[in-house]
Amino acid sequence: MPTPQPWFPDTHPCWLPAARGRHLAAARVEVDGGGPAGATVLDEVASLRAELGLGEPAADAPRWLFTTAGAPDGLRPGGFAVHHDGADRVVRAPDGAGLLHGFYRALVVPDVLDGTVEDPAVDLRMLDSWDNMTADGVMGSVERGYAGDSVLFRDGRVVEDLTRVRGFLRLMASVGLNAWALNNVNVHDAERGLVDEHLPDVARVADLARSFGVRVWLSVDFSSPISLGGLDVADPLDERVAAFWRETADRLYRAVPDLGGFLVKADSEGRPGPHAYGRDHADGANVLARALAPHGGTVLWRCFVYDHRQDWRDRSTDRARAAHDHFVPLDGRFDDNVVLQVKNGPMDFQVREPVSPLLGALRETTTAVEFQVTQEYTGQQQHVCYLAPQWSEVLRFDFGEGTSEPRTVADCARGGVVAVSNVGDSWCWTGHPLAQANLFAFGRLAWDPRLDPDALLGEWSRATFGDDEELLAGVHDVVAGSWRTYEDLTAPLGVGWMVSPHHHYGPDVEGYEYTAWGTYHFADRDGVGVDRTVATGTGYAGQYPPAHAARYEDLATCPEELLLFFHHVGYGHRLSTGETLVQRIYDTHFAGVEDVRRRAARWEEVADRVDERTAQEVRTRLAEQVRSAQEWCDRITTYFHRASGAPDAHGRRIF
């Protein structure tokens, strides 16, 4: 047996503290089949015993059998079933990944029930790491990362010691994730070497990932035929370009036989793409797909494509329309091993925006839905903002409403559920200890979109903090509902983008209002919001199926949380509560500050029940959240008071 690896060396154990697995460590554990991932079950048990100071169990100790024999018919790869036989437990799965998922499920939920069958909803459950081998002279940085530097890259190469990488893979596998894009989708120069000089290191990481049931992926630059292949073009219809990608794929799969494939951002925000050669996205994706097809690989082609050089004076151009406009005309032209990766909303991971209509519009093309676990626009892991309720709303959104064909986003996104990771090399993995809840909940929702976010919060907090009911109640009070609180404090009613440009932290009401990024709120003396109706606006509302299009088109039926996304509305407009629009803006922002203060005070009531480091880390971040909340409140209320001239009905101080 290999030397047991430390369970979580010098880092926070997240929801996998060794003590949680005492029942497994004390049992006789047997593994029958499952390859490298099945063997990892035994390695993990050995590590638990070493951490807990336990020796080999007695001959009459209860037994846990993990076996690939007799798995129920119809289970997807990675699924598992649990059967109780007296004091013994049997976990059956079709593969080693399923055995490992069953092991971690039993660790997180020690009283896993007889007859439990867990089957993932989709085959691809993926984290995209936006890690850089080097960026701006800083080694191992993470773009939009708020938890320290990369766990994978140091000094322009993959780290020699993969201990932290192993810990990250352990976290991924424990919540059912099975795919990892290693590098930033905005590929930098050094990262191009991942398909060449650093390929042995990629193979090393892939070997480790395989033992956790995870396949690795690589982000590739569309212009690689020029930068790496010495060609003068990257035209996808040029046979020399096709040959370059075939040769590259052959070389990659010799080193990593189970490579998942390529993740690509093309013709987006200055990234090279097929448009430079008069080609379209189907041409661009298919040349890569055909190179990968003999090896069983897939292209994940991101649909985050829009004009980022807009003239702010031109109200006919609407960034929200862009993905649908680009990709719907190409539906059916993509090869079978192309998956279009679509952001959950039409803009860019705002705290509130509608579900992207593209997710329901592509009938002949496989799609995946993309979320953002890293909190780029939701407090950057300085703030508590539990995002699982947002993701659950998206996954349950029904494009078939009003028809006989229910089609939720979870139904449409058969190509996978993907998210930008929030992990770095911070001691607690996610920068803010409570941000671990987002990583946990994302994995569980990717596995089963029907799960209840509040129940997931309870599952995470009990696994992380133990069975102290008073502490668990306090953690729940601090975390639950924090997404809605963040929404109350920031841009109102879906309008979005009132943030400081580029770094996206903190309020700047007009920071993007006159830029080329196409992110406007159009506030003036009469009202605020973007007219996206078919009748008088950009027509974006018409990209939805009829029932939704009609609801969004009509000011009277448009959901109020999205009112300013779809309509330019006067400050005196009466909402369903009877209050005016501007009064709603005042009320939510003042209430948001009080709610954040309440959460900080609630933490103090239970902070002595956790270790001092966790207590202080959370305390410090909540103090920053209180400060930031007050800043948001003061700036937003002052801006709209000055724009509208309307007093606050409650006489609160507005500057």
Task: Please write the tens of the pLDDT for every residue from 605-641.
Answer: 999 999 999 999 999 999 999 999 999 999 999 999 9
The three-point CA angle 447-350-440 to 5° equals: 30
**pLDDT for residue 339:** 98
**pLDDT for residue 651:** 97
Confidence band of 2 (pLDDT split at 50, 70, 90): low
Q: Report whether pLDDT(219) > 60.
A: yes
Neighbours of 348 (CB within 10 A): 18
**pLDDT for residue 1:** 52
Cβ-based neighbours of 600, under 8 Å, separated by 6 or more: 619, 622, 623, 625, 626
- For 485, the token pair is 């609180």
Burial of 6 (0-12, 13-18, 19+ CB in 10 A): middle
**pLDDT for residue 138:** 54
Cα 23 to Cα 593: distance, rounded to the nearest angstrom: 44
Q: Report whether pLDDT(413) > 90.
A: yes
**pLDDT for residue 136:** 58
Of the candidates 489, 493, 451, 490, which has an alpha carbon nearest to the alpha carbon of residue 599? 489
Confidence band of 151 (pLDDT split at 50, 70, 90): very high
Mean pLDDT of 131-151: 83
Mean pLDDT of 256-263: 98
Q: Report whether pLDDT(192) > 60.
A: yes
Dump pLDDT digits (tens) for 5-20. Answer: 888 988 999 999 999 9
For residue 507, what are the β-bridge partners?
A: 499
277, 237 in Cβ contact below 8 A? yes
Dump pLDDT digits (tens) for 351-402. Answer: 999 999 999 999 999 999 999 999 999 999 999 999 999 999 999 999 999 8
In terms of CATH, what superfamily is 487-644? Alpha-glucuronidase, C-terminal domain (3.90.1330.10)
Mean pLDDT of 325-331: 98
Under CATH, which architecture does the 125-465 domain have? Alpha-Beta Barrel (3.20)
Give the position of tokens 């905005």: 186
Mean pLDDT of 52-81: 96
403/162: higher pLDDT = 162
Dump pLDDT digits (tens) for 516-563. Answer: 999 999 999 999 999 999 999 999 999 999 999 999 999 999 999 999
Q: Report whether pLDDT(71) > 90.
A: yes
The three-point CA angle 415-215-124 to 5° equals: 20
Mean pLDDT of 104-121: 94
**pLDDT for residue 293:** 98
Confidence band of 137 (pLDDT split at 50, 70, 90): low
Cα 14 to Cα 283: distance, rounded to the nearest angstrom: 43
Question: What are the Cα distances from residue 579, in Å, to 471, 561, 582, 588, 648?
Answer: 38, 14, 8, 12, 11
**pLDDT for residue 10:** 87
Mean pLDDT of 488-513: 97
Mean pLDDT of 406-412: 97
In terms of CATH, what superfamily is 18-118? Chitobiase/beta-hexosaminidase domain 2-like (3.30.379.10)
Q: Report whether pLDDT(599) > 60.
A: yes
**pLDDT for residue 139:** 55
**pLDDT for residue 643:** 97
Cβ-based neighbours of 437, under 8 Å, separated by 6 or more: 386, 388, 457, 460, 461, 479
Domain locations along the chain: 18-118, 125-465, 487-644
The residues that are catalytic are 269, 348, 376
Chain Cα centroid distance, residue 34: 29
H-helix or E-strand spanning residue 417: strand 416-420
Q: Report whether pLDDT(145) > 90.
A: yes
Dump pLDDT digits (tens) for 299-313. Answer: 999 999 999 999 999
Cβ-based neighbours of 107, under 8 Å, separated by 6 or more: 16, 20, 21, 24, 174
Q: What is the dihedral of CA 222, 224, 229, 230, to 10 degrees?
A: 100
Q: What percent of the chain has pLDDT over 70?
A: 99
- For 194, the token pair is 């991942």
**pLDDT for residue 189:** 83
Mean pLDDT of 139-163: 92
**pLDDT for residue 135:** 54
Dump pLDDT digits (tens) for 556-590. Answer: 999 999 999 999 999 999 999 999 999 999 999 99
Cβ-based neighbours of 100, under 8 Å, separated by 6 or more: 34, 37, 38, 40, 41, 44, 173, 212, 213
Q: Average pLDDT over the chain, rounded to whole?
A: 96
Cα 347 to Cα 530: distance, rounded to the nearest angstrom: 13
Question: What are the Cα distances from residue 333, in Å, to 281, 282, 358, 439?
Answer: 9, 6, 15, 35
- What is the pairing mode between strands 179-181 and 215-219? parallel
pTM exceeds 0.75 for this model = yes
